[in-house]
């Protein structure tokens, strides 16, 4: 699991996000290094020369992915309200 701290990034409603947990797949590359993908975030992928580099890079990629989702939602529905639910 990778913990992605979004505490400083406001979500679409302006409230502060909480820490999110994501399951990532860390795959050693034949040529060296590692590729990391995020289960549940299609297309969110990164890599690094070491496991540590790969995990640091995927945390950055997750943050950028979430920013992109927030911007896309604001464009599609500027009057949308974000509501947190538990399942």
Domain coordinates in residue numbering, the chain: 1-42
State phi, psi for 75 to the nearest 5 degrees: -65, -45
All residue ranges of the chain with pLDDT < 50 are 1-12
pLDDT score for 87: 83
Quick one: pLDDT at residue 78? Answer: 72
Q: Provide the 3-class DSSP secondary structure of residue 10.
A: strand
pLDDT at 24: 96
């Amino acid at each position: 699991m990778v913990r992605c701290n979004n505490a400083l990034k406001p979500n679409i409603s302006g409230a502060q996000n909480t820490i999110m947990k994501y399951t990532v797949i860390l795959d050693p590359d034949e040529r060296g290094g590692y590729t990391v993908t995020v289960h549940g975030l299609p297309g969110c992928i990164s890599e690094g020369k070491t496991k540590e580099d790969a995990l640091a890079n995927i945390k950055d990629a997750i943050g950028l992915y979430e920013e992109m989702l927030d911007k896309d939602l604001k464009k599609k529905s500027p009057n949308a309200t974000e509501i947190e639910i538990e399942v």
